[in-house]
Structure formats: C-alpha cells, structure tokens
Amino acid sequence: MKALKLTKRRNVGLVVVVLLGILMAYVASPKIPQPPVSVQNVIELDAYLETLVNSGSPQGLSMVIVKNDSIVYSKGFGRADGPRKIKATPQTVYHWWSITKIPTAIAILQLQEQGKLQLEDAVSKYLPFFEVEYPSDKRTTITIRHLLNHSSGIPDASGLRLAKWIHHDGEPALDQTAFIENVFPDYSTLKFEPGEDTSYTNIGYMLLGAIIEKVSAQDYRDYIRQYILEPLEMTQTDFEYTSEMKAVEAAGSHPSLSFLSPLLHLMMGSYIRETSNNHIWMERVYTDQEPSSALIGSTIDAARLVRAYLNKGTLNGHRILSEKSIELMTNDGHVAETNDQGLYFFRRGIGWHVFKEKSGYKLEHKGGGPGFFTIMQIYPSDNLGLVMFCNDVTIEKYGWKILQLGANLNWE
C-alpha cells in the first residue's frame, strides 16, 4: 500500500514538473507582435516588420510585392542565419514547402495543353497501382481535377509521418513514383465520396507528381526545371542548393523555448545544427515528397512566377501557360467544404486556396515545415501579388494578415 502511494505521489510530481516546464516555456517563448489593423504607408509597414523580426520570431523574413508587372516592394528583415550573422534580403533562399503545389498544378495544366492528359481523366488511367476503398456504393471515379482541388477524399499524412519523410543533405533523392506507390496503400481508404467535400492532402499532390512523370517521361524535378523554372529565369530556385543559392541560404530556425522544441529534438535531432540566442538553428532538410513540398528559392524568384501568372501566363516573352489555363486555374474547380457555414468565402481550387475580396478573388497558398513558413497571394482583378518567406514557422497564423498590410497600400 505504501509503495502504491509513493508511486502515485511520484506520478503526480512528474505531472507537476511537466506542467511547470510547459508554463515556463510559454512564459519564456518570444511574444510575436500582432499585425496592426492597417498601415498608412511603406514606412509604417517597414516599422512593423522590423518590430516583428526584433521580437525573435521570425528571425528573418523577405517580402516582395508585384503590381502591374512591376516589383514595387522588395526587402529583407532580420537574419537569414543568426549565428553566422547573415542578413535576410530579397535574394535569400528559403524552403517553399507547400507552395510547391502551385508549380505542380501548373505542370498538369501544361500537359493538358500538350494533349497528353485531361483534367477529367481517371487517375487510374495513368497510375496502375491506384486503387481505393470507397465510403459508399457510389464509387465515383477519382479524376486529376479531384487531386488538384483536394476533393478526392484521399486522406493526408499526419504531421508525424511527414516529419519522417525527410533526408539529409548529400543523401539521394527518392524515385517519386516508386515512393508514392509504396506509401499509397496506407492512404487508400477515402474520407468522403470524391467531389462531395474538400480536405487538404499532400498525398494527392504526390500522385500528381507521379502522373507528371508518367505522361512526360521525365523525372518530376527535371520537368519542373525545364518547363517552369528555366523559362521564367528562376535561377535561385531549385530542389537542392545550387552554387548560386548557397551564398544566400537561410537556415531554418525555431524558438528553443516552446511547446514544439522538445518534439523537434526527439523527431529531428540529427538536423539540429546549434542553439543560439534562444533559437534552434537547423541543418539543411530535404523532403522526400517533392511534388507537394520540395522547392527551395527566393522571394525575388517567386515574384517572377507571380508576374507570369498576372500576365496571363507569360513573362518576358516566355509563356508557361495559356490564357485559357490561367482562367481555368483562377476561376474554375472551386470546391467548398461540406460544413461551410457561409461565415466567409473559402474554397479550394486548382492549386490555390480561394477567398472572396471586394475586388474579386484572392488566391493564396501557404507553406510550412521544419524551420520555415511561406505565403503567396495573388489578386488577379487588381494585378497584385505578394510573397513572404520566413525562416521560422511560428508566425503562420498571422501570415495572411501581414500580407494584407501590404495589399491594402496604394501601389499605383
């Protein structure tokens, strides 16, 4: 009986210690200055961004704003690599993470223009291993369009699983088609009947990557390089760090005193480079799931993609998409969640997350992964685009508000 009481006391004591540790981590963690409701001019925008990086989260960020095919704002704030005293600039390269889905969607539309596939084609037409378990007797055929707008019913991988799908610098990249063929059986039980709901899934875009490889007869990486990065002269963007990118490389970071830092040590300890100034600084991290998350590049390069999109698919005489495909990507295939209460307009479209603004649609995609947060927005009706990359994921919930500060300024 005494032993039982001692065990209970020890357990209670352990819980108290853990709770105190969490409380201390919360108290000691950086407090992020929330974005103001608005700013009146560029000076006030700069002042807020300086305050933001001075708070420590993020350590560094880069932002570019495009208006009417011109870059009207292009700046860096804070440190791309704090311990090595490297400043963030518009040329600094960060992991794009999930914004990679936009070039993947563009590649699919390019292949449709070439007559090599159609968005209404069954996924199984191109991927023999693609077999699913349906939630009802309807058994609706899953099409390429369903993958593009996340309406296939295919579940997503958990955050813990995604954290395992990474590899170190110097380790070989995986065969993307073989990789998704190997893991897909774990995600083949559908959450809902295709087309009747939408739920974000990286697995769907991994399947799109395999379709790109099948119909183009090229590696996914090589296709994206040849038909998107090279025509747009995105020389500081790739799937690995090129010689041009190494000199302007941001290191991923995370506050060392936070709820997630113990998990980071547990799950990704071998990727931690050092701890400095209450921040964990990371080694290079490469993701195994390339079509959904693998690009690395600068905001100034990403602005070239934005400019091409706003220019109806062309930049400096190089066309990556037809006007018809841009129109399709912007205005077609929007799907609402079944539990949408109509409190605000949110849809998932072809690649983009779609919101309704006074002037029309706002197209947006965010990315987040070990050490980095990214966000891209396009306002087609206003010929306006914004990109912000950060080397810290902790401002994710404020990202859209920060870009809204820039979007609401007069850039004429």
> What are 107-159's pLDDT values in tens digits?
999 999 999 999 999 999 999 999 999 999 999 999 999 999 999 999 999 98
Q: Name every residue whose Cβ is closer than 8 Å to that of residue 371 and which is 6 or more positions away in sequence.
A: 95, 251, 252, 253, 254, 282, 285, 391, 392, 393
Residue 25 pLDDT more than 80?
no
Predicted model pTM:
0.92
Give dist(CA 48, CA 43) in Å, integer.
9
> What are 169-190's pLDDT values in tens digits?
999 999 999 999 999 999 999 9
Domain layout of the chain by residue ranges: 39-407
Class of the 39-407 domain? Answer: alpha beta
Contact 250/92 with Cβ under 8 angstroms? yes
Contact 355/365 with Cβ under 8 angstroms? no
> What are 60-81's pLDDT values in tens digits?
999 999 999 999 999 999 999 9
Judged on CB neighbours under 10 Å (0-12, 13-18, 19+), 359 is: exposed
Give the amino acid at 19. Answer: L
pLDDT for residue 18: 37
